[in-house]
Amino acid sequence: LLTGRRDVMASWLAILSGGAPTNVRCEDARVFVSAELGVVTCTESIGEARVFATNVFVKEDDEWRIVHHHGGRVR
């Protein structure tokens, strides 16, 4: 569990700069959108591991911004 802006931003920086596995596959994506809120759920497959993920976005100044991400291992 990562908490606090510094730790979360450092994790995203590592992911976006190639510090995460590149073989992540998004499967069974479902998208729910309203005027200012979007939710995406999917199963992320990373090698043999599977994670159910939820991402929540809000629309600010005509741009979608992620405000929450959660992933839990599928057993």
Per-residue pLDDT tens over the stretch 14-68:
777 876 666 778 899 999 999 999 999 999 887 788 889 999 999 999 999 999 9
Q: What type of residue is 17?
A: S
- 30 CB-contact burial (10 Å; exposed 0-12 / middle 13-18 / buried 19+): exposed
Give the residue with greater pLDDT, 72 vs 57.
57
Beta pairing partners, 54: 41, 70
3-state helix, strand, coil in the chain (%, to 5): 20, 55, 25
pLDDT at residue 53 in the model = 94
State pTM to two decimals.
Answer: 0.70
| Residue 67 φ/ψ, nearest 5 degrees | -120, -15
Which tokens in the block code for residue 3?
Answer: 């908490």
pLDDT at residue 21 in the model = 60
